[in-house]
Amino acid sequence: MLSDLRFALRLLAKQPGFTLLAVLTMAVAIGANTALFSVLNSVVLRPIDYPAPDQLVRLWVVNKPRNIEFPAISWPRYAQFRDHATMFSGLAITAGNSVTLTERGEAEQVPSLQASANFLSTLGLAPQLGRGFTAAEDEAGGPNVALISDRIWQTRFGGTPDVLGKVVTIDGVPYTVVGVLPKAMPVPFHQVEIVNPRPLEIPYVPAQARDGGAVVWQVTGRLKPGVTREAAEKQLLQLDAALREQRPQLIDADNALQLRPFADEIIPAQVRLGTWVLGAAVVAILLIACANIANLSLARLASRTKEIAVRTSLGAGRGAIVRQFLVESLLIAATGGALGVLFAAWSLDGIRLFAGDQIPRIDRVAVDGATLLFAMLATGAAALLVGLYPAWQATRTDVQVVLKDTGRGTAGSHANKLFRSSLVVAEIALSLVLLIGASLLLYSFSRLQRTRLGVVPDGVAVAQVNLPERDYDTGAKQREFVRVLQQKLDTAPELAAGGAGFGVPLTDSQAVTPYSVGGRPPLPVHQRSLVSLRQVTPGFFRALGMRLKEGRLLTDADRAGNPLVGVIGESFARKLFPEGSAIGQSLVFGRNGETRCEIVGVIEDVKSAGLAAPVPDEIYWAHAQRGNGIFHVVGKAQPGLAAGAVLPVLRRLVREIDPNVALATPRTMDELVAANVATTKGVSMLLTVFAGLAALLATVGIYGVMAYNVSQRTAEIGVRMALGATAGSIFHLVLRNAGLLVGLGLAIGLGISLAASRVLQQLLYEVKPFDPIVFAAVATVLASVGLLAALIPARRAMLLDPLTALRAE
pLDDT tens digit string along 609-668?
888 888 999 999 999 999 899 999 999 999 999 999 999 999 999 999 999 899 999 999
pLDDT at position 405: 55
Say if residue 312's pLDDT is above 70: no
Find residue 566's DSSP bridge partners: 599, 621
Distances (CA, A) of 769 to 52, 453, 561, 774: 39, 24, 54, 10
pLDDT over 90, % of the chain: 44
Rg from Cα positions in the chain: 34
Confidence of residue 324 (pLDDT cuts 50, 70, 90): confident
- Of 423, 408, 418, 385, the closest CA to residue 304 belongs to 408
Is residue 20 very low, low, confident or very high in pLDDT (cuts 50, 70, 90)?
confident
- Taking Cα atoms as reference points, which of 271, 103, 127, 290 lies closest to residue 195? 127
Cβ atoms 190, 149 nearer than 8 A: no
Q: Is the pLDDT of residue 127 over 80?
A: yes
Of the ranges 357-361, 398-402, 595-599, which one carries the lowest mean pLDDT score?
398-402
Q: Is residue 416 within 8 Å of 298, Cβ to Cβ?
A: yes
Q: What is the rounded average pLDDT of the residues 795-802?
A: 73
- What's the 3-state SS for 583-635? CCCEEEECCCCCEEEEEEEEECCCCCCCCCCCCCCEEEEEHHHHCCCEEEEEE
In terms of Cα–Cα distance, which of 600, 492, 480, 487 is closest to 549? Answer: 600
Q: Of 572-576, 603-607, 765-769, which range is least confident?
A: 765-769
Q: Provide the pLDDT confidence category of residue 797 given band limits of 50, 70 and 90.
A: confident
Say if CB 321 and CB 308 are below 8 A apart.
yes
| Percent of the chain predicted with pLDDT > 70 | 90
What's the rounded Cα separation, in Å, for the pair 590 and 595? 6
What are the DSSP calls for 483-495, one per residue? HHHHHHHHH-TTE
Question: For 247-269, what is the mean pLDDT?
Answer: 86
Q: pLDDT at position 307, please?
A: 63
The predicted-structure confidence for 412-428, as pLDDT tens digits, reads as follows: 566 667 887 888 888 89
| Predicted confidence band of residue 260 (pLDDT cuts 50, 70, 90) | very high
CA distance linking residue 780 with residue 774, whole number of Å? 10
Of residues 142 and 683, which shows the higher confidence score? 142
- Measure the CA–CA gap between 168 and 165, rounded to whole angstroms: 10
What is the enclosing helix (H) or strand (E) of 704? helix 678-712
Handedness of CA 289, 291, 297, 300 (dihedral sign): negative
Q: What crossing angle do the helices spanning 678-712 and 318-355 adopt, rounded to 10°?
A: 150
Beta bridge partners of 565: 598
Q: What is the mean pLDDT of the chain?
A: 86
Helix (H) / strand (E) containing 776: helix 772-789
Nearest to 795 by CA among 697, 719, 703: 703
Phi-psi region of 159 (alpha: psi -120 to 50; beta: other; left: phi over 0): left
Give me the DSSP letters along 267-280.
S-HHHHHHHHHHHH
Res 314: pLDDT: 58
Rounded average pLDDT over 93-119: 90
Q: Is the pLDDT of residue 407 over 60?
A: no
Q: Is-contact 662 462, C-beta < 8 A?
A: no
Rounded Cα gap, residues 634 and 647, in angstroms:
9
Q: Do residues 748 and 430 lie in contact, with contact meaning Cβ atoms separated by under 8 Å?
A: no
